[in-house]
Amino acid sequence: MKSKIYSSEYMKSSSKGQRWIPAFAMIAFLLAFPVAELILMGKWNERSYTQSQLSYLYSSLWSSDFLTMGAAVAAVTAFFAAVSGFWYLYSPRKVDFYHSLPVKRSALFLHRVLLAVLYYLVPYVIMEFAAVCIGAARGYYSLSIMKKALILLVLHLLMYLLVYFSTVLVIACTGTMLMGALAWAGLFTYSIILAVMLQLSGHLFFDTWYEGSYGILAAVRELGSPLMVIVSFIDRYSSGSFGKQLLILILTLFIMAALSWMAFCRRRSENTGKALVYTWMEPVLSALITIPSGLGIGLIFYMIPEDSSKTAWWIFGMILGTILVHGILEVIYEMDFRRFFRRKVQLMIFGGVVAICALTMKMDLLGYDSYFPAYDNLQGVVINVSNLSYTEQLCNVEKKEDGIYKIRYTATSDNSSGLVDQPVMKSKALYNSLEDIRLQNEKGKKSGKRVYVRYINKQGFSVCRSYNVSSAQAQNLMEALYDEQTWKEDRYSFFQLDKQYLKEVTGTFCDGDIQTLFEKNAEKRQALAEALRKDILENGGQTVKDQPCAMLMFDYAGIPSEGYMNEWGMNVPAVQEGERVSTSVLVYPAYKRTLAILEETGYPLSMDELSVEYIDVYYFSSEAVGEDEEAFSDTEPLSDLEETENGYKVRYDKKEQLEVLKKCIRPSQLVNGWTIWNADVTMEVVLEGQESTGGDSGLYMTFAGEIPDFIRADAKAAHVTEWEVND
């Protein structure tokens, strides 16, 4: 009998009623491979790409697009095949029939697995071969494509079997369709929901919470379910470093296969109809669901009110969620509403665990916010200050041995990424600066911008945190960073680009004008870039204490690079026509080589070179009522406040006022981002003779230094409340 069940004749007879599965797979893979291939090729032809670009795109198609689309089809097909093959386990009559046959359950299990593999492989191979033939007909045939197609077949088979065995495991452990559906949804989505809840909890209760995914949280999100194991592998495969994720995928597959085999073979037929065939799973499942649900529902109630009642609502939500979810599970287990309050002792234990977890987060009993590594146990730190220095637009450049460049653009907005591809540093000044920032955050001072830090201890473990920093703290931090040679080399690595690719240099000066420099002198442009590179690397942190006096923008073109993302979201090689790169760098007074060249242009490099006629400062008032209104009424302005639609305007035209203001204002392009002032104030600087010559009405500038006392007094009288203090 054992050999007969694997015969082709028995295969045909046992597949009756299931032949729709390979038919579905055939249609789905037709859409995922040949049809998708033809559609993409049509789009490529519309873009007028070169032949080398088309070859690159076709090769990338087999490495990324086909991988994702094929994985989706494989997952859906695996689900249908598993349900179709083991659906009978929910019927007591069918269970008695199949399990009374003179066939071992292990042989019956392997027979159904073999059928499922055939349902998948036959349509897959046909459609993938058709896709290869279409590419060959368009001139894209090569041994590398055949290799990628073979690898793709193996990878998709692994993903198919993982989803298949995971679904079989759920069916083998549950006795009713309702419980099976809930358990399957939980198996594939539990880790995602848990990771989201942990992120939300950290965001609400920890001031220094790092929003990125790493460590335990990354493991929960990426490895906690078969679905996320597949998604994580696809992400890594596209980037080229997927060895670790492939091993995890294979290991997870073997675990699911072994568990599903044991669950099927040891399943008691008489337990069919119960929610869970293995009763010992009930308390385990209850704990895994009830505790996170109680905490999650509590978080929802915690976020609803905006006043001091948040804590009371939070406690109410946790109690309600714990009781409700535990009761619903007991009803599902017994299929009896009268069992809602069954296992009261278990409910009290779960409630206690929920309370302990909540107290731990609220009181920070684990010391998340207070964590700071000892200097002697520190291997180094990685710091992302992209949102502090947003004025400079930079990119990371790495030159390969074959002359091709790898270009990675630096984030210029507030984000928590970028703690991996940056240099590791360690210095006492940097350590002391971070310690001061951490202490200020611990005291509850949360104003300012956000920086992200990764601490790496000598054992190789990483701990990430995010901090709010004031202007003074940001200044100290940037000074410490500019003392780090490796950090500067990485930050300004675009200077590695060969001088032949430098096409244009543009300068922004203290009068706000933007001018093209040395347009017809390539050697002078190259000399300026080299002078700036040397100045940056040779000057330390004291340099950035001063306000910039110019900004230089370097435009490169024709760079042979690995590729870039075009406007349609496609990876296109830039080796033939070359890539364009634009960067902007601030010039400080200490950069003597650079300034010596810029002085030849005659453009103003200092505010003292500007003849200012007057400065209009606009104060945008905030509505003040009650005590705030009384406080404002006691303040006497030092200047005449002219009321405007949005607040007040003051014109400063006295010589002594203008001399003081010129020391603390700059055009917005010439402000290093960590010293810009966050205020409801703007100003318009009018140069002498500007209005009479028919020029613009004035230059818009911003505060970038120590604010004069008369400005502070006028701002207070004008009801300006948004004003960051440089403490």
| pLDDT (mean) for 334-343 | 80
Same domain, residue pair 572 and 620: no
| pLDDT (mean) for 96-106 | 75
Q: What is the pTM of this model?
A: 0.79
| pLDDT (mean) for 435-440 | 88
Asked whether residue 97 carries a pLDDT value surpassing 80, the answer given is no
pLDDT at 19: 77
What are the start-end ranges of the H helices in 266-411?
281-303, 310-334, 344-363
Same domain, residue pair 7 and 106: yes
| pLDDT (mean) for 588-598 | 94
Question: By residue range, what is the domain housing residue 549?
Answer: 497-601
Same domain, residue pair 262 and 129: yes
Same domain, residue pair 501 and 470: no
Same domain, residue pair 672 and 638: yes
pLDDT at 590: 94
Task: Determine which of 42-56, 75-89, 329-343 has the lowest per-residue pLDDT on average.
Answer: 42-56
Residues 595, 598, 599, 602: what is their CA dihedral angle, to the nearest 10 degrees?
A: -150
In this structure, is residue 310 part of a structural domain? Answer: no
pLDDT at 607: 87
In this structure, is residue 639 part of a structural domain? Answer: yes
Average confidence score pLDDT of the chain: 83
Cα–Cα distance for residue pair 573/406, rounded to 1 Å: 11
In this structure, is residue 290 part of a structural domain? Answer: no
Within a 10 A sphere around the Cβ of 706, how many other Cβ atoms? 11
pLDDT band at 626 (very low <50, low <70, confident <90, very high): very low
Q: At what angle do helices 310-334 and 344-363 cross, to 10 degrees?
A: 150
Same domain, residue pair 462 and 567: no
In this structure, is residue 217 part of a structural domain? Answer: no
Asked whether residue 624 carries a pLDDT value surpassing 60, the answer given is no
pLDDT at 372: 92
| pLDDT (mean) for 606-631 | 70
With 0-12 / 13-18 / 19 or more C-beta atoms within 10 angstroms meaning exposed / middle / buried, residue 552 is buried
Over its C-alpha atoms, the chain yields an Rg (Å, rounded) of 33
Asked whether residue 294 carries a pLDDT value surpassing 70, the answer given is yes
Asked whether residue 391 carries a pLDDT value surpassing 70, the answer given is yes
CB 246 within 8 A of CB 229: no
Asked whether residue 411 carries a pLDDT value surpassing 60, the answer given is no
Same domain, residue pair 123 and 264: yes
| pLDDT (mean) for 507-520 | 90
Query: If residue 674 lies in a helix (H) or strand (E), which one and from where to where?
Result: none
Same domain, residue pair 527 and 666: no
Cα–Cα distance for residue pair 552/165, rounded to 1 Å: 60
Same domain, residue pair 21 and 135: yes
In this structure, is residue 562 part of a structural domain? Answer: yes
Task: Determine which of 6-10, 360-364, 511-515 has the lowest per-residue pLDDT on average.
Answer: 6-10
Query: If residue 236 lies in a helix (H) or strand (E), which one and from where to where?
Result: helix 226-239
pLDDT band at 158 (very low <50, low <70, confident <90, very high): very high
pLDDT at 568: 41
Q: What is the DSSP string of 100-133?
A: TSSS-HHHHHHHHHHHHHHHHHHHHHHHHHHHHH
How is residue 635 written in tokens? 């303040």
pLDDT at 573: 52
Task: Determine which of 14-28, 55-69, 428-442 has the lowest per-residue pLDDT on average.
Answer: 14-28
pLDDT at 628: 41
710-to-226, 596, 636 alpha-carbon distances in Å: 65, 36, 11
Cα–Cα distance for residue pair 482/82, rounded to 1 Å: 59
Domain boundary (601, 619, 638) is at 601
Cα–Cα distance for residue pair 715/570, rounded to 1 Å: 51
State the sign of the Cα–Cα–Cα–Cα dihedral 146, 150, 153, 156: negative
| pLDDT (mean) for 239-253 | 87
In this structure, is residue 297 part of a structural domain? Answer: no
pLDDT at 256: 95
pLDDT at 440: 82
Asked whether residue 474 carries a pLDDT value surpassing 90, the answer given is no
| pLDDT (mean) for 299-318 | 88
Domain boundary (268, 301, 319) is at 268
In this structure, is residue 724 part of a structural domain? Answer: no
In this structure, is residue 447 part of a structural domain? Answer: yes
pLDDT band at 627 (very low <50, low <70, confident <90, very high): very low
397-to-56, 369, 400, 504, 583 alpha-carbon distances in Å: 21, 35, 10, 18, 12
Domain boundary (447, 465, 491) is at 491
Asked whether residue 395 carries a pLDDT value surpassing 80, the answer given is yes
Same domain, residue pair 662 and 535: no
pLDDT band at 552 (very low <50, low <70, confident <90, very high): very high
For the chain, the domain total comes to 4
Same domain, residue pair 501 and 487: no
Same domain, residue pair 556 and 426: no
pLDDT band at 154 (very low <50, low <70, confident <90, very high): very high
Q: Annotate 561-588 with b (16+ C-beta within 10 A) or e (fewer).
A: bbbbeeeeebbbbbbeeebebebbbbbb
